[in-house]
Chain A
Amino acid sequence: MSLALHPTSKAFKANARAALKNETLQRAMGHLGFAQKRLEAVGRLPEFEALRDQARDIKNHTLQHLDFYLEHYEEKLRQSGGEVHWCRTPEEARQAILSICRSVGARTITKGKTMVAEEIALNPFLEANGVAPVETDLGEYIIQLRDEPPSHIIAPAIHVTKEQVADTFLEKHAAYGKTKLLSEPREMLEEARGILREKFLGADVGLTGANFLIAETGSSIIVTNEGNGDLTQLLPRVHIVLATPEKMVPTLEDVSTILRLLARSATGQEFSVYTTVSTGPKRPQDIDGPEQYHVVILDNGRTAMLGTAFQDMLRCIRCSACLNHCPVYNAIGGHAYGWVYPGPMGSVLTPGLIGVDQAGALPNASTFCGKCESVCPMKIPLPGMMRHWREREYEQRLSPPAQRWGLAAWAFAAKRPRLYRLLTGLAARVLGLWGRRHGNMHNLPLAGGWTQFRDFPAPEGKTFHQLWSERGQR
């Protein structure tokens, strides 16, 4: 199931409602412990805040000179024998990957974790064209077996319970002669590892994402905890890196600054277990490595965000801190957002990539509590940019009519203090009398959204301004 092919962001509200009622999902989401681990990791690094400023500045500089760094990157990569494929659209990226696969007669392709592949719905496309994709990240492997999209950008199967994984393995691993229902995560890991080992060895092409592209050296970097990325990119004859232009950083020095933030912000680790740098195909003196090295760089609307109110979003390093700390994400999980990227970063990025007409609900589904911005290692002003999307939505008259009329009525009164005082004086009196017996109201016309779950506290009966003028203005 691909959310890129079947976006449901327009149905966000219904999705969220269903997610809140989904007991299995709620049980699975209850284990998200990344926020606490991040807090502890940050506490152990006194220069964490200073690093955030540095990282923000590095990315701002890079984005300001992105054309220069992209060209420099391509030149360096060519020198080491790699090839860059520039793609504007998902279709161009899919075709570029398929033609590389076809040029070597590939039947299977192993994949490291990449959200960009989700964005271009790569798996169903490859399957339809006779190339079998095999996800090698354990979480991605689980959801591939279950035919589900990822619900988190670094923990794609966070919505799946241990018991569900056991059932899935029992059903899908029977083909490999594994017929025991497992109960321990360790056993499940071992079983998946055994099966994946064969896939690694048999793959013709290995595809990974990129956490960073480094202009100085023409390298790409992936960080993983399972080592699957290394096996994916080293064993097959061809390595394809699927990246996007904003992954660029100028130098190795710069990337080491940002790497100090990435794992701490994501999982609370000091560093990911594997940080793998790749620079072109195998050289004569190398012991191993691919014969061919391709980098597919997909734009898909990103460079159009440069120079707009949304440019800061391109600093994102996909750490997931904003998801992990978001009370809305934690309540409903990732699938409810209806497209590839969930949580606060998704609520800003998705309207930029598929349009605010499709994804307008996402930037509205925030209390602007500001927690995401406060933990973002790249200091991206996420709530501010969600507000910018609301402005676009309002300008294009996309927000719901009831909301627009309500707002217009409020604004009409708010701009006329004497009328406003008359109305609020009346409201305070009527509601005050109505709610006097209980101190609150169980139902309130036009406020069903409130009183569905909460009582509405009764006003005291007179407004402050009435009482203030009665006391004689001091």
Chain B
Amino acid sequence: MDNTGKRPRVGLFVTCLVDLIRPTVGFAAVKLLEDAGCIVEVPAAQVCCGQPAYNSGDRADARDVARAVIEAFEGFDYVVAPSGSCAGMIRLHYPELFAEDAAMMPRVHHLANRTHELVSFLVDVMGVKFVAARYDGTITYHDSCSGLREMGVKAQPRALLGTVAGLTIKELPGAETCCGFGGTFCVKYPEISNRMVGDKAKDVAGTGADTLLAGDLGCLMNMAGKFTRDGVDVKVRHVAEVLADMAGDVPPIGRAK
């Protein structure tokens, strides 16, 4: 039950990357939300939050894509995404995107105010204190930028990870420094991005942890891709996989079975 005392109806915003690359993260989110007492639905009309267009300066296309999201998620008590970046887009940037469209604004604000990043939603809204999961290993945690600075995600994943049996947390120096993904940035400026993710790889390897967790698949793919390319022997997973006890269901990101 949420802090209003009823079982909330939650619309899961799957995110385009989870949909395409790593559906397990979506199912992990469903499990965590259901375990927390939510009724979870997945609107079929959802595609993407529109961030690729928005951050490329294409407001018209971003608005069209966003409008579809607003329509698809009308009527839920909450909208939850396993990504701080996509949740931040809806919560903070949709109101900016529709600033000149007075007719849309009530609907935009209604959606924005109900939208949350998964792990912070579980802890802050649903009051989840522990998870029934086991992970035998030492993890380190990267704070993805949008989740950290736009959505205030910092303590919540650590609090829940602290209740996973067998798991040890080692803090990552520079955990709040960008990994160099940045959406289209990583392909527009590959050399700079490579330098940033290279620095991140060194920091992660330096912790001695065997697993790196984070809450955004874009960053995770960037880091996992760098690790396998450079032979950094650290497994990479979305935090939801571990919290939902589903790490056994799929190999780490970028690794074979």
Give chain A's interface residues, CB within 8 Å of chain B. 13, 16-17, 20, 327-328, 331-332, 364-371, 373-374, 384, 387, 389-395, 399, 403, 407-408, 410-411, 414-415, 417, 420, 424, 427-428, 436-440, 442, 447, 449-450, 452-460, 462-465, 467-469, 473-474
Contacts and interface: CB of A to CB of B under 8 A. Distances in A.
Contacts of A467: 23, 27
B143 to A, nearest CB: 11
Contact of A399 (B18, B56, B68, B251): B56
B228 interface: yes
Interface in B119-143: none
Residue of B183, B192, B194, B255 with highest tally of chain A CB at under 10 A = B192
Nearest to B26: A464
User: Lowest 7 A-B CB distances belong to which pairs?
Assistant: A367-B182, A449-B187, A454-B225, A390-B57, A394-B57, A369-B178, A464-B23
Contacts of B20: 424, 427-428, 459, 463
Nearest to A437: B256
Nearest to B182: A367
22 contacts: A20-B195, A327-B199, A331-B192, A331-B195, A365-B185, A368-B183, A369-B182, A371-B176, A384-B96, A390-B57, A393-B57, A407-B52, A411-B65, A415-B64, A427-B20, A440-B254, A454-B194, A455-B229, A456-B221, A457-B21, A459-B22, A467-B27
A407 B56 contact: yes
Contact of A455 (B27, B176, B191, B228): B228
A364 B149 CA distance: 20
A119 B21 CA distance: 48
A391 B58 CA distance: 6
Interface stretch (B42-50, B103-111, B157-165): B42-50
B197 A454 contact: yes
Contacts of A408: 61
Contacts of A332: 192
Contact of A365 (B23, B189, B255): B189
A429 to B, nearest CB: 11
A440 B255 CA distance: 7
A410 B181 CA distance: 19
A13 B194 contact: no
Chain B: number of interface residues, binned into ranges: 35 or more
Given A16-B192, A367-B145, A371-B178, A457 B225 contact: yes
Given A327-B196, A439-B228, A439-B254, A394 B44 contact: no
B182 A459 contact: no
B185 A366 contact: yes
A391 B68 contact: no
Given A327-B177, A457-B225, A411 B188 contact: no
Contacts of A16: 189, 191-192
A320 to B, nearest CB: 18
A394 B50 CA distance: 16
B23 A447 contact: no
B113 to A, nearest CB: 20
Contacts of A463: 19-20, 23
A462 B58 CA distance: 30
Contact of A457 (B16, B52, B56, B253): B253
Contacts of B44: 417, 465, 469, 473
Contacts of B149: 369-371, 373-374
Interface in B67-112: 68, 96
Contacts of B23: 460, 462-464, 467
Contacts of A438: 228, 256
Contacts of B47: 414-415, 417, 420
A417 B43 CA distance: 11
A461 to B, nearest CB: 9
B170 interface: no
A268 to B, nearest CB: 18
